[in-house]
Amino acid sequence: MSRLSHRIVKEIQSLLTESVPGIKAEPDEINSRHFHVVIAGPQDSPFEGGTFKLELFLPEEYPMTPPKALLSAPNPDDPLANDVAEKWKNDEAQAIETAREWTRLYAMKSV
C-alpha cells in the first residue's frame, strides 16, 4: 500500500469515527478516492436549511491540493455552470435570492 493510500485509509477511519457537524461522508466501496457526501447548507448563506448530495473525488495530488467547500464561497470565475456564474457576476443580490429559492424548492425536505 502506497503512502498516499495509507493516508486515505487512515482519514476514512477518522471520518467514520469522528463526525463533522453538518457533513456526512461515506467512502465508496470500490474506489477509496471517491466519497458520497451529504452537506447541510451553511448558516447565514442562501443555502441555509438545504441538504445537498454530492460526490467527492480526491485528486491525485491529495493532500497537497485538498477539495474545497464551494457552498460557502462560490467562485463565479471558475463555474460549473456558466449561465449561473454570469448571473452571479451581473446581479449578485438576485443570484443570492435565486439560490435561496432553489434551496427551498430543491434541497429542503417537504414538511
pTM of the model as a whole: 0.62
Cα-based distances in Å from 95 to 19, 81, 88: 32, 13, 5
Give per-residue pLDDT as tens, 57-87: 887 887 787 776 756 666 788 777 888 889 8
Q: Where are the beta strands (DSSP E) in 1-111?
A: 23-27, 34-40, 51-57
The answer on pLDDT for 49 being more than 70 is yes
Condensed to tens digits (0 to 9), the pLDDT of residues 10-35 reads: 877 887 788 888 888 888 888 878 88
Q: What is the pLDDT of residues 79-109, one digit of tens each?
A: 778 888 898 899 999 999 998 999 999 998 7
Structural domains present in the chain: 3-107 (3.10.110.10)
